[in-house]
């Protein structure tokens, strides 16, 4: 451990070696190289704040309107008040009358003149020298001060072992041929520069991470990631999987299912089925993502893939993140497959012990040809007889570590099953290039005939009564509707309208109609009963939390009201409104919001009102949330790309891809060194 002052806190942050500290790069900088007089400090400072100094002439604790410490300093030009709302006795002592202190913060006008609130303070001599470089501000966790991190980093940069760790080993010729300019520094220089930039550095380029030193770091990190993904791609092709050739017989399950379907595949569905069918014929495991907007018909494509596998005597499994979605798949597949003699098993966490055991026995014995359920399917107690295909729906909703490689041993032979992931959340191109390099992507870019566009309206919460009046007219036409709320019970923090409260109000306001309530805390059988009643039109209005985000298919429900829409993200609203527009009636989604609206929420609602293209929405979502949540990585606790912004730095991705291919082909001996430097154990994480 480099820093001996606080080993435990730094270790918790992963800063347990000189290399880890060297790569713990600043998130921003403060300019302490310039000292202003108090008079000059008003509304100045390159980073929105200013640094000045003076002698303490007053130090007092006031108790009205609340306990606070007020300190006044002066120099030859003016006086300045410092205000501390939270402080320790040691701070008060540090700023005793007569002490000369240097302060840094944002100067603003207070009730009693110019002031700084909670500035950084140091007791210094009047002629104390100024730093010659910008002061780094590092990402930190609670209990770890900037001083501790700065000292640890400075010590790490002087460590002799670091010189070897940061040695330049990427071939000079490769760098010269691929890099866009010659002004990128070597790795060691880039890291030193970013930790201690000179006072005349381009502060804008540093903050926006477009400085040549940042570019070098970003390129190296992307290169490591691309190498890791390309190796995973190659490793998968070396693995063995059963090959499922297209059956020649017209009486095959696949052919019979196609004939029995009450509709014809769209051109887009037929195209992606050809791609998937081609993958299933190969003797290495398929790893394909099937993308398609809500209602585009991904399930039937998955059913055809399952039929192909079952035709060859293997099992197929369909896994979904929620019981509602899993059950939707179960009911749909049952409707298609049971008449064809296929034995289906249902497995979820809410099953009683006896039912669960029976399902597990059917799966293990091979009696169950098609298995559908939640993440209960990948628990240790489940053992497949002969699994050939795993379909994972809404794959980003599972933690990365839950998307397991399902492998089995049949006799002496180890084989992997084919995997088909499905998502109604489109993956932006930049995300696909960086995190899905080992994933083949198919897109259903066409909705089935008869699907109508959904009109989206944005309405203030103050017009709630008007919305309920419109809802009454809607239900009077024999149509059904959803009313979606963000919370189940009252929260003192958020003070939002809740599902339970809305249910009671709407039941009272619409006495001629049956109102149902469904939320995540209901027991599975209660939830199923409400959903069945809604589907049968015994319930006309369904009040729900986001449990209906995926998997609910009621063609007669053509209106959705989303309450407190400002609290939902892009993808969530896009998913929710995809529940309507499934029948012949014109469909409407009303986004009801509470004021005041933040600029981000305003932009989000405006975009959703104007845009229905899932890919455009996904790009906006990516810029807002970053890749972690879209990939399901957030649940894993692992960081991914630390220094790269996928939209700002998209041009670097192709550069890194080319370099990765060259390095793997021409300099295989350097690959491990580069991966170890940048990813360590995270190289495995990227393959998940």
Closest by CA to 614, choosing from 269, 298, 291, is 291
Q: What is the DSSP string of 405-421?
A: --EEEETTEEEE-EEEE
620-677 pLDDT tens trace? 666 655 554 444 443 333 345 788 877 788 788 888 888 998 999 888 888 888 888 8
pLDDT digits (tens, 9 = 90+) for 406-426: 666 555 567 888 999 888 776
pLDDT of 550 higher than 60: no
Beta-carbon contacts of residue 548 (< 8 Å; ≥ 6 apart) = 324, 482, 484, 518, 542, 576, 579
Q: What is the pLDDT of residue 496?
A: 52
Handedness of CA 80, 83, 89, 91 (dihedral sign): negative
Q: What is the DSSP letter of 391?
A: E
Average pLDDT of 291-313?
90
* Domain 253-444 homologous superfamily, CATH: P-loop containing nucleotide triphosphate hydrolases (3.40.50.300)
| pLDDT tier for residue 547 given thresholds of 50, 70 and 90 | low
Residues 427-453 have a mean pLDDT of 71
Q: How far is CA 334 from CA 195, 264, 314, 465, 551, in A?
A: 61, 19, 18, 42, 15
Architecture of the 34-130 domain: Beta Barrel (2.40)
Distance CA 642, CA 624 (A): 16
Q: Report the half-sphere exposure of 569 (CA within 13 A, side-chain side).
A: 15
Give how far the C-alpha of residue 18 lies from the chain's centroid of Cα atoms, to the nearest Å: 30
453 closest CA partner among 229, 297, 609, 252 = 609
For residue 630, the model assigns a pLDDT of 46
Q: Is the pLDDT of residue 687 over 60?
A: no
On whether the pTM is more than 0.85, the answer is no
Say which DSSP state 422 is in. E
Pick the residue with more confidence: 257 or 610? 257
Contacts 24+ apart (CB under 8 A), 600-608: 600/624, 601/566, 604/566, 604/569, 604/570, 605/458, 605/565, 605/566, 606/458, 607/570, 608/456, 608/458, 608/570, 608/573, 608/574
Q: Work out the number of other CB atoms within 10 angstroms of the CB of residue 314.
A: 21
For strand 454-460 and strand 587-593, is the pairing parallel, antiparallel, or unpaired? parallel
- Please state, as a whole number, how many other Cβ atoms lie within 10 Å of the Cβ of residue 90: 7
Average pLDDT over residues 39-59: 81
Give the CA dihedral 568, 570, 575, 581, nearest 10 degrees.
Answer: 100
| Residue 365 CB burial class (10 angstroms; 0-12, 13-18, ≥19) | exposed
pLDDT at 493: 46
Which residues of the chain does CATH 3.40.50.300 include?
253-444, 454-611
Helix axes 253-260, 323-337, angle to 10 degrees: 100
Contact 622, 430 (CB under 8 A): yes
- 573 and 565 Cβ atoms separated by less than 8 Å: yes
The rounded distance, in Å, linking the Cα atoms of 150 and 170 is 29
Contacts of 519 (CB under 8 A, 6+ apart): 488, 499, 544, 545, 547
What band does 688 get if pLDDT is binned at 50, 70 and 90?
very low
Cα separations (Å) of 225 from 236, 417, 646?
17, 25, 13
d(CA 347, CA 341): 19
Residues 83 and 118: beta-carbon distance below 8 Å? yes
Phi/psi at 59 (5° precision): -145, 110
Beta strands in 63-168 (DSSP E): 68-74, 79-84, 100-105, 107-110, 113-117, 120-123, 135-137
Q: What is the DSSP secondary structure assignment for residue 133, as one 8-state letter?
A: B
Q: Model confidence at 439, in pLDDT bands (50, 70, 90)?
A: confident
As a whole number, mean pLDDT of residues 278-297 equals 87
- Does residue 551 register a pLDDT over 60? no
Residue 182 pLDDT grade (very low, low, confident, very high; cuts 50, 70, 90): low
**Burial class of residue 609 in the structure, from the number of CB atoms within 10 Å of its CB (0-12 exposed, 13-18 middle, 19+ buried):** middle
Encode pLDDT of 87-113 as tens digits: 888 888 999 999 999 999 888 877 777
40-49, 59-68, 347-356, 464-473, range with the lowest pLDDT: 40-49
Nearest residue to 347 (alpha-carbon basis) of 330, 332, 335: 330
Tell me how far apart the alpha carbons of residues 491 and 493 are, in angstroms, rounded to a whole number: 5
Per-residue pLDDT band for 52 (boundaries 50, 70, 90) equals: very high
Alpha-carbon gap, residue 323 to 198, rounded angstroms = 57
Mean pLDDT computed over 205-215: 91
Q: To which H or E segment does residue 299 belong?
A: helix 298-311
559 Cβ contact partners less than 8 Å away, ≥ 6 residues apart:
471, 474, 479, 480, 481, 482, 580, 587, 588, 589, 590
CATH number of the 454-611 domain = 3.40.50.300
pLDDT tens column, 553-580: 788 888 999 999 888 877 778 878 877 8
List where CATH 2.40.50.140 sits in the chain.
34-130
In this structure, are residues 459 and 597 in contact, taking their beta carbons and an 8 Å threshold? no
Which residue in the block uniquely carries the two structure tokens 């390095």? 663
User: Which helix or strand (DSSP H or E) is residue 54 part of?
Assistant: strand 50-62
Count of CA atoms in the C-beta half-sphere (13 A) of 464: 14
Q: Sorting pLDDT into bands at 50, 70 and 90, what band is 497? A: low
For the cut 70, the answer to whether the pLDDT of residue 269 exceeds it is: yes
């Amino acid at each position: 451990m480099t820093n001996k002052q606080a080993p435990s806190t730094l270790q918790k942050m992963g800063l347990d070696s000189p290399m880890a500290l060297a790569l713990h790069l600043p998130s921003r900088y403060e300019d302490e190289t310039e000292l202003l007089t108090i008079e000059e400090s008003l509304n100045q400072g390159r980073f929105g704040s200013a640094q000045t100094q003076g002698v303490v002439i007053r130090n007092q604790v006031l108790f009205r309107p609340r306990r606070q410490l007020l300190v006044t300093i002066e120099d030859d030009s003016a006086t300045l008040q410092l205000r501390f709302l939270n402080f320790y006795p040691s701070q008060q002592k540090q700023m005793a009358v007569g002490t000369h202190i240097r302060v840094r913060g944002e100067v603003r006008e207070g009730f009693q003149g110019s002031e700084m609130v909670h500035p950084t303070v140091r007791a210094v001599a009047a002629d104390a020298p100024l730093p010659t470089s910008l002061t780094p501000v590092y990402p930190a966790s609670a209990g770890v001060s900037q001083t501790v991190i700065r000292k640890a980093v400075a010590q790490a940069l002087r460590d002799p072992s670091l010189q070897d760790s940061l040695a330049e080993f990427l071939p000079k010729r490769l760098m010269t041929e691929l890099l866009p300019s010659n002004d990128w520094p070597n790795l060691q220089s880039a890291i030193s520069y970013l930790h201690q930039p000179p006072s005349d550095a381009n502060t804008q380029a540093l903050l926006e991470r477009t400085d040549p030193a940042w570019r070098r770091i970003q390129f190296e990190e992307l290169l490591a990631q691309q190498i890791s993904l390309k190796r995973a791609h190659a490793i998968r092709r070396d693995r063995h999987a059963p090959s499922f050739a297209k059956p020649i017989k017209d009486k095959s399950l696949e052919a019979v299912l196609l004939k029995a379907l009450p509709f014809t595949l769209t051109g887009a569905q037929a195209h992606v089925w050809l791609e998937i069918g081609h993958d299933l014929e190969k003797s290495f495991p398929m790893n394909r993502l099937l993308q398609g907007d809500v209602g585009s018909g991904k399930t039937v494509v998955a059913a055809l893939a399952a039929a192909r596998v079952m035709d060859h005597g293997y099992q197929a499994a369909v896994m979904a993140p929620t019981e509602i979605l899993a059950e939707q798949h179960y009911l749909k597949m049952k409707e298609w497959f049971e008449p064809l003699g296929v034995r289906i098993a249902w497995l979820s966490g809410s099953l009683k012990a006896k039912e669960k055991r029976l399902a597990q026995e059917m799966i293990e014995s091979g009696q169950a040809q098609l298995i559908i359920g939640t993440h209960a399917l990948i628990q240790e107690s489940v053992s497949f007889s002969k699994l050939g295909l795993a379909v994972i729906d809404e794959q980003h909703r599972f933690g990365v570590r839950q998307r397991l490689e399902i492998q089995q041993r049949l006799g002496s032979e180890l084989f992997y099953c084919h995997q088909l992931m499905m998502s109604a959340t489109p993956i932006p191109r930049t995300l696909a290039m960086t995190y899905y390099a080992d994933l083949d992507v198919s897109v259903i870019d066409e909705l089935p005939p008869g699907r109508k566009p959904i009109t989206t309206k944005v309405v203030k919460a103050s017009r709630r009564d008007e919305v309920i009046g419109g809802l009454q007219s809607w239900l009077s036409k024999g149509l059904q509707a959803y009313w979606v709320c963000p919370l189940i019970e009252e929260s003192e923090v958020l003070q939002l309208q809740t599902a339970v409260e809305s249910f009671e109000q709407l039941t009272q306001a619409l006495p001629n109609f049956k109102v149902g309530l469904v939320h995540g805390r209901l027991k599975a059988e209660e939830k199923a009963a409400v959903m069945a009643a809604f589907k049968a039109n015994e319930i006309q209005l369904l009040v729900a939390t986001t449990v209906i985000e995926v998997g609910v298919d009621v063609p007669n429900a053509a209106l959705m009201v989303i309450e407190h829409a400002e609290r939902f993200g892009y993808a969530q609203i896009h998913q929710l409104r995809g529940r309507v527009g499934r029948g012949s009636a014109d469909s409407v989604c009303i986004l009801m919001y509470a004021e005041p609206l933040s600029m981000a929420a305003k932009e989000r609602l405006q975009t959703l009102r104007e845009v229905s293209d899932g890919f455009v929405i996904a790009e906006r979502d990516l810029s807002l949330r970053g890749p972690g949540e879209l990939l399901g990585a957030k649940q894993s606790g692992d960081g991914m790309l630390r220094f790269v912004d996928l939209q700002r730095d998209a041009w670097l991705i192709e550069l890194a891809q080319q370099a990765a291919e060259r390095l793997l082909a021409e300099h295989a001996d350097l690959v491990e060194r580069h991966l170890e430097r940048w990813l360590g154990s995270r190289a495995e994480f990227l393959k998940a």
